[in-house]
Amino acid sequence: MFFNLILENKSGDHIDMTTTANKYMTSKIEGLNPPVGTISTSSYAGMGGSYLNNAFIEKRNMVIHFEMRGVEIEKKRHQLYKVVKPSRYVKIYYKTAGIDVFAEGYVESCEVNNFETLTSGQISILCPDIYWYSTVSQMAYYSQITGGFSFPFPTESNPQPFTLGRYDTQNIMEIINDGDETGFILEIEAIADARSPTLYNADTDEYLQITGEILAGDIITITTKTGNKTVTLDRGGVKTNIINRLVSGSTWLSLREGKNRFYLRGTGLNNLKVKIIHTNAYLGV
């Protein structure tokens, strides 16, 4: 199977593990499948069967087996060490004919057999975030004034006016999730003052609400991803944690597999630009 594998460190230095057979040849990759699940159960007293205590998915362990061929093997080995350093962050890009994804983790070990006839080695990477993410994000927008600029310009022979924008009274946002259920990023930008914007899931009636006023120029960013749930206010370039403004009863909304529909409520909705940013997430590729 044709594939492409690139490793990149925090500084942006990267190394292509599948460039040509004369450099690095990746012979095997472990950790592409969904990570193992851990299930804890307890037995019933005096009767058969057991009940579930807890179930979760373990961290992903990527193990990359490779060979180094051609000339200047020592130089290539040190290039590898520059990018792949134990305990340091690394980003893994994996691409086939049908998928283009990345995962993030930390290098556990990088071992190279220097004194064998064929120089080979393996890299072990632990990924606390269990998902592979698409390299391309999707977005759903809400704004009561939507762009409608079109060509051609009116002329003497064609005096029809052109559209600069249109007023939109629909506040439904739809977005398709082609991956596993996951969180998303919600960005709310105020072009004038507004109050208490609320995002509802149109299918479940769950909601997420920020209480209080939003001033012109404010940008609120909400992340609902497991392990990274945040509510941040950007006011004049100063960022503040405002998770305390999340209304009691709010749900950290997520995107189920397939079509998801959301709608907005609040005071001054025509003063807001709202954007949902989603990246498909996969347990296995």
> From the first residue on, what is the mean pLDDT of each consecutive set of 10 residues in the chain (285 residues)?
89 85 77 91 86 89 88 85 94 94 96 82 94 92 57 53 45 90 94 92 92 93 92 94 93 94 90 93 94
Secondary element (H or E) of residue 281: strand 281-282
Residue-level pLDDT at 171: 72
Residue-level pLDDT at 149: 46
Please tell me the pTM assigned to this model.
Answer: 0.81
Secondary element (H or E) of residue 80: helix 73-83
**Residues 6+ away with beta carbon under 8 Å from 64:** 5, 17, 26, 28, 29, 30, 122, 123, 125
Instruction: Kindly tell me the sign of the dihedral angle through the C-alpha atoms of 185, 190, 193, 199.
Output: negative
Q: Phi then psi for 29, rounded to 5 degrees?
A: -125, 120
What's at 129, amino acid-wise?
Answer: D
What's at 91, amino acid-wise?
Answer: K
Q: Phi then psi for 79, rounded to 5 degrees?
A: -65, -40
User: What distance in Å separates the CA atoms of residue 139 and residue 136, rounded to the nearest whole number?
Assistant: 10
